């Protein structure tokens, strides 16, 4: 199963995961990072610039998980804009080496295949950051998504649109469709790092790591991955059955193992 790391708060999670990313980039300057958007990865992105100061990032590549369909890429809440603002600019990455699925309506029918090809051509993702939706989605793979799915267009659930309405003027402004890496795509990454914060995520986290592996809870797919790490704050960990064991295991983990 995934390794569960329970930390005090989101800032501590950001530090732990940013340390791991910095370690990866130092040892592998052409590392391929899988980038999530939304609120969850923000503490990781905030902690990264100081850790990567003086490190050559010119060969680092990045691939975003998903994008809204039909939203102008220049819209401040398009994931292209978010990744540029929160990752590319603060870290000084080469924008040409950071990809986001193309959500424009023109060519949307082959955008998924194009993205899959670009991921394969880049050699695959070394470390994939993931958030989790309150309905258990990862990427925008809503409940019912196939574990073999690849990058494609999906319809957002009403709940996800309501959850994301805080980034827009109203829920009606949240696009209805997205293009997202599939669960099969995500499972190809060499290391999955899923983060979750707050009581609102506790039920989904417990179901994902301790519940049955089921397409009804897409994040449970991480149980099939040989190297998955789940970093949660105390609130998001509050529904876990074996929380004390995870704390004990992490406290006694040899430092050389990293995450």
Instruction: Using the rule CB under 6 A, give the single segment among 9-17, 87-95, 120-128, 138-146 that binds ligand F6R.
Output: 138-146
Question: Applying CB under 6 A, does 140 fall inside the site for ligand F6R?
Answer: yes
Map the footprint of ligand F6R across residues 25-54, applying CB under 6 A: 36-40
Contacts of residue 228, defined as CB under 8 A and 6 or more positions apart, other chains included, come to 1, 2, 3, 191, 192, 193, 194, 222
Q: What is the helix (H) or strand (E) element at residue 164, kind and residue range?
A: helix 158-164
Question: Applying CB under 6 A, does 139 fall inside the site for ligand F6R?
Answer: yes
- Least Å distance, CB 225 to ligand F6R, is 16
Contact residue for ligand F6R among 5, 18, 138, 192 (CB under 6 A): 138
In the 3-class helix/strand/coil scheme, how is 59-106 assigned residue by residue? CCEEEECEEECCCCCCCCCCHHHHHHHHHHHHHCCCHHHEECCCCCCC
Catalytic site includes residue 102? no
| CB of 4 or CB of 219, closer to ligand F6R | 219
* C-alpha to C-alpha distance for 68 and 14, rounded to whole angstroms: 25
Eight-state DSSP code of residue 173: G
- Least Å distance, CB 161 to ligand F6R, is 11
Catalytic site includes residue 121? no
Question: Applying CB under 6 A, does 65 fall inside the site for ligand F6R?
Answer: yes
- Least Å distance, CB 40 to ligand F6R, is 3
Cα angle value 68/21/64 (rounded, 5°): 15
Residues that bind ligand F6R (CB under 6 A): 36-40, 65-66, 131-133, 137-140
- Supply the residues annotated as catalytic: 66, 135, 137, 142
């Amino acid at each position: 199963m995934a390794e569960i790391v329970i930390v005090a708060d989101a800032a501590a999670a950001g530090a732990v995961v940013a340390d791991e990313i910095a370690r990866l980039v130092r040892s592998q300057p052409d590392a391929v990072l899988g980038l999530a958007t939304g609120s969850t990865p923000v503490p990781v992105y905030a902690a990264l610039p100081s850790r990567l100061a003086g490190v050559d990032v010119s060969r680092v590549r990045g691939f975003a998980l998903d994008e809204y369909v039909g939203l102008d890429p220049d819209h401040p809440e398009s994931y292209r804009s978010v990744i540029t603002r929160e990752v590319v600019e603060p870290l000084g990455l080469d924008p040409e080496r950071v990809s986001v699925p193309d959500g424009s309506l023109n060519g949307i029918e082959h955008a998924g295949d194009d993205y899959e090809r670009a991921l394969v051509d880049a050699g695959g993702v070394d470390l994939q950051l993931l958030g989790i939706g309150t309905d258990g989605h990862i990427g925008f793979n809503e409940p019912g998504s196939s574990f073999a799915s690849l990058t494609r267009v999906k319809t957002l659930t009403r709940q996800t649109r309501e959850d994301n309405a805080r980034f827009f003027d109203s829920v009606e402004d949240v696009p209805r469709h997205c293009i997202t890496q599939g669960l099969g795509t995500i499972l190809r990454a060499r290391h999955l790092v899923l983060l979750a914060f707050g009581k609102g995520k506790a039920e989904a986290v417990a179901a994902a790591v301790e519940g049955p592996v089921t397409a009804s809870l897409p994040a449970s797919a991480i149980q099939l991955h040989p190297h998955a790490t789940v970093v949660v704050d105390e609130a998001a960990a509050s529904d876990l059955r074996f929380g004390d064991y995870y704390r004990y295991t992490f406290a006694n983990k040899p430092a050389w193992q990293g995450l």
